[in-house]
Copies of this chain bind each other. A is one copy, B any other.
């Protein structure tokens, strides 16, 4: 079911087959894209999906020496590395496939759906991409290339126990490592001391080495750390030291596992507290973890955030695919499970005052039971899952297409794509995280009691998906980013651009029989969203505007996904009947049941409702 949907979105909607017209993708064609998707689908089916429950029950554990993961995880990682997927988007001359990011993203969807917990490629690719953009020649060659090959893996070390979302409070210190610190072939060499929390894939034996990208502060001349985010620099810190040719020196760097986090879900991946420079190891006889500066001092956050849009698309896609997995599972269950009978006319008509307790509807008890998919409320739960998860998938692929446009489009189109992506990224991250979690809850509900047992996969999808509103910038952080930064930057240029794209869809839909009403409804919602944005900022007081940033984020997300659905339905007009009618039904569902929520959420935004920010501690 997923493959035809992805093919439809790629080709019928996003015209991926026009990408090979661009020089970078000239060797590609729908055929080569198809082979990549075939391979990904097969690998995910054979090496990931069968072990998704296993990695949930056999949680990572530390035996005092090493972190133990199931053998299946080792095999999945090995196969994934060998498939070339890690460097799918890279240049040919470093062994890549020069695939569009769109196709890479589509291929990754199969792994996320098969086992979001096993798949640890996201961080490694993001890490290596960052080094390709900001590292020096040796860092690219030694670290990035060995990550793309699957020989080593990567992490992103941002949070600290005392500083989760608040990166300005990073307290990890990096001091120059000796007088000749600037002459190391791998970059200016520092010694790091500090603790990093929530580090996914921070310790394991899946790869020969682990390459940590670490945010830390270089003390000023007074020995103090610079407050705020401006003082943050970025370092590459390998678990095991390597020489300038990428050979292990045999010496262990001072990066020590301080603890494994025991999570509610997503248990296939280790999540760790790491100590840098605690003294367990003493590389070259001296204290501190060896780290090489990436980019310039003080530009750590800029380098890190360069990769953030793509990382957040990755989170959105993972959430969307968990939603989709639950949708498939519950659809399958609903088709097979006989239970109950169709609702028929009442034994007594409802207007004629039935006696106490008598229902106003009947059922023919002598008829055979029907599969539960025939009940309207079950169809409602399935349609909601379809609308959330397919809508989220389409949104993520749209975002990935913007990344390609940004990198390979004509200058003006590229700049537009970059701007639009800035505005949409908080939505691409937050909508799937919130609503595909809800989809997973509905998947449980469709299963009834069975869904609450570990004999069916849906409760795990739900637990796994709960992470996505937390990592890579919490839901609240996305909301601040959207209302406090993205919609106001450049005088609101991003918001205007998005509105013009939405209006183009509205314009097209307005001329299509059966879609005009959606066009009108969406047009009104966009107008009210714009008005609410203005009203939120009317006093120019950030504390007043941003107190309702989260309801704003939700309203914005629903408007965007309503637009995505309408645009998808336009593309589906020419598709075969089940695709056309199914897309239309999901769109109808979204406009009837979901889009009206926007007005409720915008109410508090527009009125700058103050009850939350005025609430006092002692009133709780």
Residues of A within 8 A of B (CB): 159, 162-166, 168-169, 197-198, 227-229, 261-265, 331, 335, 338-346, 349-351, 353-363, 365-366, 369, 373, 375-380, 382-383, 386, 422, 437, 441, 444-445, 448-449, 451-455, 459, 462-463, 466-467, 469-471, 474-476, 479-481, 484-485, 488-491, 537, 540-543, 545-551, 578, 581-582, 585, 588-589, 592-593, 596-597, 599-600, 603-604, 607, 609, 611-620
Contact = CB atoms under 8 A, between A and B. Distances in A.
14 contacts: A159-B449, A344-B543, A349-B540, A354-B490, A356-B489, A357-B422, A360-B537, A361-B546, A376-B612, A377-B476, A445-B476, A451-B470, A452-B466, A596-B603
A448 B164 contact: yes
Contact of A551 (B578, B593, B603): B593
Contacts of A581: 616, 619
A293 B168 CA distance: 71
The 4 A-B residue pairs whose C-beta atoms are closest, nearest first, are A228-B365, A361-B542, A353-B491, A596-B600
Contacts of A360: 484-485, 488-489, 537, 542, 545
Contacts of A476: 375, 377-378, 445
B164 A490 contact: no
B366 A542 contact: no
A527 B162 CA distance: 51
Given A484-B361, A578-B619, A589-B612, A376 B546 contact: yes
B377 A612 contact: yes
B453 A262 contact: yes
Contacts of A542: 343-346, 350, 360-362
Query: Copies per complex?
Result: 2
A61 to B, nearest CB: 14
B377 A166 contact: no
B197 A449 contact: yes
Given A197-B449, A383-B615, A537-B360, A264 B162 contact: no
Contacts of A585: 611, 614-615, 619
Given A351-B537, A380-B550, A166 B611 contact: no
A262 B466 contact: no
A320 to B, nearest CB: 17
B618 A262 contact: no
Nearest to A613: B376
A377 B604 CA distance: 13
Contact of A600 (B227, B600, B615): B600
Given A344-B542, A455-B262, A592 B619 contact: no
B168 A365 contact: yes
B452 A470 contact: yes
A448 B466 contact: no
Nearest to A619: B582
Contacts of A375: 476
Nearest to A602: B596
Contacts of A546: 343, 361, 376
A195 to B, nearest CB: 14
Contacts of A592: 603-604, 607, 609, 611
A375 B547 CA distance: 8
Contact of A453 (B263, B351, B488, B616): B263
Given A445-B469, A489-B356, A542-B343, A550 B377 contact: yes
A485 B620 contact: no
Contacts of A227: 365-366
Contacts of A366: 227-228
User: Which of A165, A262, A380, A463: most chain B CB closer than 10 A?
Assistant: A380
A139 to B, nearest CB: 25
Contacts of A614: 585
Given A373-B617, A377-B612, 12 more contacts: A169-B339, A169-B369, A345-B542, A354-B488, A354-B489, A357-B422, A359-B485, A360-B488, A380-B550, A463-B463, A581-B616, A592-B607
